[in-house]
Amino acid sequence: MDDVAADVIAIIAKRLPAEKRNVAMADRLEDLGIDSFGAVEMIFDLEEKFDVQISYNSNDARLDLETVGDVIDAIKKLVAGRS
Amino acid sequence: MTHRVVVTGWGVVSSIGHTAAAYWSNLSRGVSGIADATIIPTDHLSQKVVAEVKDFDPRQYFDDHQVTTLDRVSQFAVIAAREAIGHASISFADGLSERTATIIGTGVGGQTTQDESYRRLYQERAKRLHPLTIPKLMVNAPASQVSMHCGLRGPCFAVASACASATHAIGLAFHLVRSGGATCAVTGGSDACITFGTMKGWEAMRVMAPDTCRPFSRDRKGMVIGEGAAVVVLETMEHAQQRSAIMLGEIVGFGMSSDASDLLSPDEDGMVRALEGALADGRLSREDIQYVNAHGTGTATNDEAETQAIKRAFGQHARKLAISSNKSMIGHALGAAGGLELVATLMAIKEETVPPTINYLGRDPACDLDYVANKARPLRIEAALSNSFAFGGLNAVLAVRRL
């Protein structure tokens, strides 16, 4: 696992109860119990960690980022676009 | 002994008018107060639309010395209170001042003063702040300033319950007058927190609409921050009759509850308890109500939960209710919202017209009641409710009746 993936997983895992912290790429955020305001806090942590802007409005029907792998891919794209 | 409590005056400062008459004229015609912010720089804001009080010059209302002592939030409160007292044609001489309560809600108090002071300290490295920094930004400043400017010497305090502040303030004032604890009350709410700092805070919550506020509509994108003040004069019916005052409406019930669950997500159970509490306190049955002035913030979660709560509290009668959200026009004026909305509810009864929910695009399956979409509706209303549901899980509902 690369550094970005490890950092994203650490940020997501921090939001979860101890017994659920062993997350896999295919895990869906919703199934992990991250609700819309949990997502807002997670996105804040990601933006701060990677110095990127993530577009997200909690009123939209669903987060584009469905799985842990989606979040990692999105962050990698944003980080690549930044440099 | 309990007293009937009547409203004999109202005053409004809003994004759609600086007087109560202008407010109603625009509200009943579906005029929006939402536009790009002008009082703050928007370059670094992802959401640039607000419902600000436009073309506001405090020097039209206050002399130079007074202006320096009043944050924008207190200016709005005092202007609305003066208008309400003038509208009620009431004099507080001969001991009435001591029997008049001043209870003013505000969500966050003097944010303009706070934001500007901290900017000077942190950015400009200022060595000192203005000596009135603290008394201008304190949360009780609007209540204290109304008391001082209007010469009201009875019980006076602020109520802070975020978006429900004005409704809690008016509800407490209503109970105080009903119980005989005060003969009169000057009460309502004020907020003026369109500052760079607070807007960045709201932006971080990701609950803000990028374009406009569409309560209960499909494709709604969230809330729009507003500002303003609304103040009413309450008095016992006997007192109003003795002085031959014009009675504009009666407040009959107040219900409040706390969700004690989530900090942000609304909770139907708490809403239902406040709705049922207001009906019970006013000795009203569900069928007595024709109109509900909704909290209706335009967020996905509030509007869905509020719809469910109205259905649970009203049963089959929910489908017969006219429901509308003023926030579609005036945004969410936070601590002032409940005051602006109570005045709108009383005006709707008096003028026999329900103000619309504008910006409505079509039905959301989760919000399937009658929201008086886009166009005002003539309706004779005998009794109505005004809802406020705050972050922190605090719910407050007022019940009012035609006289």
- CATH for B299: 3.40.47.10
Q: Are B198 and B111 in contact (CB under 8 A)?
A: yes
A56:B207 CB<8 A: no
Q: What is the tally of structural domains in chain B?
A: 2
Q: Which value, in Å, is the radius of gyration of the alpha carbons in chain A? A: 12
> How high is the pLDDT of residue A61?
60
- Among B242, B274, B289, which residue terminates a domain? B242
Q: Are B382 and B286 in contact (CB under 8 A)?
A: no
- The CATH number given to whatever domain includes residue A38 is 1.10.1200.10
Residues B153 and B179 in one domain: yes
For the segment B75-112, what is each residue's pLDDT rounded down to a tens digit? Answer: 999 999 999 999 999 999 999 999 999 999 999 999 99
Query: Domain of A39?
Result: 3-82
B207:A59 CB<8 A: yes
Decide: helix, strand or coil at residue B189.
strand
- Among B219, B242, B265, which residue terminates a domain? B242
Q: Is A35 on the interface with B (CB under 8 A)?
A: yes
pTM of the model: 0.95
Query: Domain of B287?
Result: 251-401
For the segment A37-78, what is each residue's pLDDT rounded down to a tens digit? Answer: 888 999 999 999 999 998 888 887 656 788 999 999 999 999
Q: What is the tally of structural domains in chain A?
A: 1
B222:A58 CB<8 A: yes
Cα–Cα distance measured from residue B198 to residue B106, given in angstroms and rounded to the nearest whole number: 14
For the segment B320-376, what is each residue's pLDDT rounded down to a tens digit? Answer: 999 999 999 999 999 999 999 999 999 999 999 999 999 999 999 999 999 999 999
A82 has pLDDT over 80: no
Confidence of residue B66 (pLDDT cuts 50, 70, 90): very high
> How high is the pLDDT of residue A36?
79
Nearest residue to B104 (alpha-carbon basis) of B183, B167, B151, B12: B167
CA distance A44 to chain B (A): 8
Q: Is A64 on the interface with B (CB under 8 A)?
A: no
Cα–Cα distance measured from residue A22 to residue B295, given in angstroms and rounded to the nearest whole number: 41
Q: Which residues of A touch B210 (CB under 8 A)?
A: 57
Residues B39 and B118 in one domain: yes
B142 has pLDDT over 80: yes
Spatial CB neighbours of B13, under 8 Å, sequence gap ≥ 6: B53, B56, B76, B79, B80, B190, B228, B229, B230
Residues B177 and B277 in one domain: no
Q: Is A37 on the interface with B (CB under 8 A)?
A: yes
- Among B182, B214, B242, which residue terminates a domain? B242
Residue length of chain A: 83
Task: Tell me whether residue A80 is exposed, middle or buried, using C-beta atoms within 10 angstroms of its C-beta: 0 to 12, 13 to 18, 19 or more.
Answer: exposed
The mean pLDDT of B230-257, rounded to a whole number, is: 98
CA distance B385 to chain A (A): 26
Q: Are B6 and B248 in contact (CB under 8 A)?
A: yes
Decide: helix, strand or coil at residue B311.
helix
